[in-house]
Structure 1
Amino acid sequence: MILVTGSAGFIGSNFVLDWCALHDEPVMSLDKLTYAGNLENLASLNDNTRHTFVQGDIGDAELVARLLAVYRPRAVINFAAESHVDRSIHGPEDFIQTNIVGTFHLLEAVRAYWGALNDSEKANFRFLHVSTDEVYGSLAKDEPAFTETHRYEPNSPYSASKAASDHLVRAYHHTYGLPVLTTNCSNNYGPYHFPEKLIPLLIVNALAGKALPVYGDGQQIRDWLYVKDHCSAIRCVLEKGRLGEVYNVGGWNEKANLDIVHTVCDLLDELRPMKPGSGESSVVSGADLAVTHLPLSTYRSLITFVTDRPGHDRRYAIDARKIERELGWKPAETFETGIRKTVQWYLDNQGWVGNVLSGNYRQWVEKQYGE
């Protein structure tokens, strides 16, 4: 079997769902179930005897050691992380504890387990660490995309904590021989994405007739990767990746944030048009500052520019040629096909969205975008 940490989060749950659909090999899921860990993501596996879920923290060394001893996985895939940049700016301590200290405790437990395996089991074991392109820092508009040898230059508490965890994983390979693999992915999007991230936030707010917040001028560029493509890349690296190697995973889809906003608005106009009279916008004009109310006809009318966040990286871009050259992987989805599937999923799963929108989430959005 395999052990998947962070399995109730956005990418982790998609990985587990896809794994169970494609493989007969059992999965042990471990997740702390913080704000971004949603057990409802795995609800379709409730009756699946090949899936076992345990609520717990990767920093709980005793728990992890017990799970490894009882279930004896042939691989550990580590998705567990605090991953929301804005939250790391407001409260970095959780990111240090989970992403650095938690990864350390997980590595220690895995090292002890692996060290006690017989030679055949040792040779077949893998520890796959899932990381981010944000560890590389920010690119100028005309700079080449990040390769696996790009210098680490993290610019937020989140990316700095992930960079530290990457270095720990590398060190455990070179010092102890632990058979590790690391992937650094670009911005993911798709089903089960927590609605404080850009694309789901846009969909949720637009359907509610609320403002669509855009940081700064909206020209921050990201490489967008459909989450199902990311999951297929991880399966590929787990199966064929060279020990100790890093593989960058990207979608070859560099888009400015404002372009993403426009695309989502246009898809919603097509798939779920605004009802006539469902809202209105206000325009102030004239010397007497008279207010004219205009009917909302498209979701683009809800776009609102807000103050940029501190230290906002301008551009990320992934060079994913290594994983294609060595392992034969490349994304199956274009941005156009992936974003359409994503918007349609949120329209079709309003019950899931409603359950996620807890009081804590609404307070967070108000805190982050209220000013």
Structure 2
Amino acid sequence: MSNILVTGGAGFIGANFVLDWLRQAGADGIVNVDKLTYAGNRESLAEVEGDVRHVFSQIDICDTAAVSCLLKVHRPRAVLHFAAESHVDRSILAPGQFVQTNIVGTFSLLEAVLAYWQGLDMSAREAFRFLHVSTDEVFGSLGPAEPPFSETSRYQPNSPYSASKAASDHMVRAYHHTYGLPVLITNCSNNYGPFQFPEKLIPLTITNALAGKSLPVYGDGLNVRDWLYVGDHCTAIREILARGRAGETYNVGGWNEKTNIEVVHTLCDLLDELKPKAAGSYRDQIAFVRDRPGHDRRYAINASKLAQELGWTPAETFESGLRKTVQWYLHNEAWVQDVLSGEYRNWMSKQYAA
């Protein structure tokens, strides 16, 4: 069986990609590498438990020897690198882990992959790809009238998280230009959908609303993000892996710019419709809180290159994707409760104590 290797395949985007990939007829097998930190969840992969096409290995991408062993045994035709610490708020309080995972981890993975790739025969080397999944946050913050980020936008990261991802992007690019490793880099906008850990805005709002808790909104709520349904992101990655040009970067966006308060209002209205309270609206629970340090005002992605070269455009509108997301969380209360651990409760208490 032909294989691909996925890092971070028990996390939010990684797990959705694994499930989506294995639903495709004739799909390659997946070797799934995940450290299983707080945001990695084997329960998200329940659908593929027992599937012979899915091999799970709990290892740290910083462990070059362990990754090298997996590459030698399973001989993947591609490596897709999702593994990352990704929450800006956590990076502000504890940046060291972001440096370790996002920078050192990417370097360690590249070292293992480069040695493996150099040992392949010529045809296998030409067909091989290393796809690095990154973020639009590396480009910094946009003003209200500025055009969306393109693949040539200047890197201006403003948080420890985005700085660590920018460094990893540069390292991947360097391994292509220095060693010839055939890489692809994707920079995506804010993802949302099933299996997202409830520290991010959309699942946090849903879970807090249903629990009768306050719905925290930073500052004035007018920070703007471009929202991308995770299923659309998975489709884009498949297309880029199959037909993207080695050494190129592709922006993946949803063409859905929304303020944070718009997102929260839409979620409250959907919950009012799908699971109404005994009295009042979920909007009554909204609470504006002190803004986080260095909060970027606006992100927006220009995904025209991906549309023009590979024909990809998102299938979901913001409204259809958000409805699917709310319905998923309503129908998967057991998964939600299992991830709401003491560690998560302690984090929330610390983050929003003020």
Q: Normalising to structure 1: TM-score of the pair?
A: 0.94
Query: Are residue 361 (structure 1) and residue 344 (structure 2) matched?
Result: yes
- In the comparison of the two structures, how many residue pairs are matched? 351
Quick one: which amino acid aligns to residue 18 of structure 1?
D
For residue 164 of structure 2, give the secondary structure of its aligned residue in structure 1. helix
Counterpart CA distance in 1 for 2:88 and 2:269 is: 27
2:175 aligns with 172
Letter in 1 for 2:122: D
Displacement of 1:257 in angstroms is 0.2
Question: What is the DSSP-based 3-state SS (H/G/I as helix, E as strand, rest coil) of the residue aligned with 2:57?
Answer: strand
Please list every run of 5 or more consecutive structure 1 residues that lacks an aligned counterpart in the other structure: 277-296
SS at structure 2 position matched to 1:194 = coil
Candidates 324, 328, 333, aligned match of 2:316: 333
- 1:157 matched residue in structure 2: 160
Distance 1:159 1:275 in 2: 42
Instruction: Tell me if 1:258 matches 2:241.
Output: no
- Decide which of 319, 324, 331 is 1:348's aligned counterpart: 331
* Distance in 1 (alpha carbons) for counterparts of 2:27 and 2:147: 41
Report the counterpart of residue 237 of structure 1 in structure 2: 240
Amino acid at match of 1:361: Y
The corresponding residue for 1:293 is none
Rounded to whole Å, the distance in 1 between the matches of 2:131 and 2:278 is 48
Q: Residues of 1 paired with 2:250 and 2:207: CA distance?
A: 33
Aligned equivalent of 2:287, options 304, 326, 333 = 304
| Paired letter, 1:3 | L
Taking the aligned partners of 1:354 and 1:267, their CA distance within structure 2 comes to: 21
Q: CA deviation at 1:220?
A: 0.2
Residue 24 of structure 1, CA deviation = 2.9
Q: What's the C-alpha RMSD, in Å, of the aligned pairs?
A: 0.5
| Alignment partner, residue 105 of structure 2 | 102
Q: Which runs of structure 2 are paired with 1:175-324 in the superposition (5 Å)?
A: 175-276=178-279, 297-324=280-307
Amino acid corresponding to residue 9 of structure 1 in structure 2 = G
Q: Does 1:71 align with 2:82?
A: no
Whole-Å separation in 1 of the counterparts to 2:200 and 2:94: 17
* Distance across 2 between alignment mates of 1:100 and 1:138: 22
Q: What runs of 5+ residues in structure 2 fail to find an aligned partner?
A: none
Q: Distance in 1 between matches of 2:166 and 2:47?
A: 34
Question: 1:4 is matched by which residue type in structure 2?
Answer: V
Report the alpha carbon displacement of residue 47 of structure 1 after superposing the two structures with TM. 1.6
**What is the identity, as a one-letter code, of the residue corresponding to 1:348?**
H
Which residue is 1:2 aligned to?
4
Q: Percent sequence identity over matched residues? A: 69
Q: How many Å apart are 1:191 and its aligned residue?
A: 0.1
* Structure having the higher Rg: 1
